[in-house]
Amino acid sequence: MKLKIILGGLVILAAVIFGSLSFVESNVEYMDFSKAMSIKKKVQVKGTWIKDMESSFDVSKRQFSFYMKDENGLEQKVIFSGAKPNNFEIADAIVIKGRFEDGTFHASEILTKCPSKYENQPVANKPSM
């Protein structure tokens, strides 16, 4: 009976530790490039794609690279291990999750914010009854 209680306690303790570690890993802060350079953990940076600068996809490495400007105007090269998102060209804003390595931001995720089809639409005049 005592062995069952000890095993049950160990299972509960392992679940609590696993849940805590998962929460800490998924809790990613928003910041700009200048702050992200000094931190060695995973962060999120919001900005816009610089269309005038080089962007490319390296087939052999399966890497998409582009340049992004954060909300404070700092420009940085971003390397993403994966293909370019489908709606990348029409995105109003981009959020990248990742960390700096060797002076380049290595993104593990790219989230795009596309223009809403509901914004800036004239409101139709409804006839009153």
What's domain 31-113's architecture? Beta Barrel (2.40)
| Nearest by Cα to 46 from 103, 111, 115 | 111
* pLDDT: which is higher, 39 or 96: 96
9: left (phi over 0), alpha (psi -120 to 50) or beta: alpha
Domain locations along the chain: 1-29, 31-113
Arithmetic mean of pLDDT over the chain: 84
pTM of the model: 0.69
Q: What is the mean pLDDT of residues 65-87?
A: 91
The whole-number pLDDT of residue 41 equals 84
